[in-house]
Amino acid sequence: MDVRGRNHVTVSGRAGGPVVMLAHGFGCDQNMWRLVLPRLERDFTVVLFDHVGAGRSDLSAWSRARYSTLDGYTDDVLEICRELALGPVTFVGHSVSASMGVLAAAREPEAFTSLVLLTPSPCFIDDPATGYRGGFSAEDIDELLGSLDANYLGWSGAMAPVIMGNPERPELGEELANSFCRTDPDIARVFARVTFLSDHRADLAGVTVPTLVAQCSHDAIAPPEVGEFVRSQIRGSRLITLNATGHCPQLAAPEETAAAIADFVPAAP
């Protein structure tokens, strides 16, 4: 299967406009961006895709060997860019996909006009030796992964509302839980380890394209110290704090999220 089919790539919006590529996080698919699309499609060519193993991607293309690190996902991002040949893109990476964008832009900066890192976390685990705060102790992550291994559906129902936040809007947590539950548990277990055990702090300094770091005002998964750390490590990057809460502002506050992206995308030459 070709790249477009493998990752269920879709292209919409204004033909010839600056290109915005939206990458979803763990347990999600491109449908998670649907509420920001109306704003972005007015001015930009928008590229959506599903990571292999998610959504309507080709599940037969998934292998533990390729996707046991972020390198396999990063290869996919760059292959999609080359296949579409739309020119350099603004890559918007949510959560773990922010690290994919960092790796891709460091490897092939000419493929990107800019990066938008939405609720990023280059390392979820605290590092007391350096003073880095990722939000979780190593024991927390071991417990989280153990719970996921033991009962993935139960883990999904319990964790989705925590990740989503916004307890006054339980339908958001339910949507995320349903998205988790549509993911093959065996694939989810591997991707969870890639997401929560990876440490890409050292890769941030390799980014040379303009970068926006967008964090939420309260996020149980990525505390504010993480956003400030990312900003400090990417030369010339800018940090904004959205009024949105939770880890998925594209669902909780789509208008604010879309506006932040649109305001940062470089104008067409």
**Catalytic residue positions, numbered:** 95, 219, 247
Give the C-alpha separation, 81 to 65, whole Å: 23
Cα 191–196–200 angle (5° rounding)?
100
Give the C-alpha separation, 266 to 160, whole Å: 34
CA dihedral sign, ordered 225, 227, 230, 235: negative
The answer for residues whose C-beta is within 8 angstroms of residue 66's C-beta and 6 or more apart is: 52, 72, 75
Q: Cα torsion at 213, 214, 217, 222 (round to 10°)? A: -60
Strands (E), the chain: 10-13, 19-23, 45-48, 89-94, 112-118, 211-218, 238-245
Phi, psi of 236 (to 5 degrees): 80, 0
Q: Over 23-87, what HEC string results?
A: ECCCCCCHHHHCCCHHHHHCCCEEEECCCCCCCCCCHHHCCHHHHCCHHHHHHHHHHHHHHHCCC
User: Residue 186: enclosing H or E segment and its boundaries?
Assistant: helix 185-197
CA dihedral sign, ordered 182, 184, 189, 194: negative
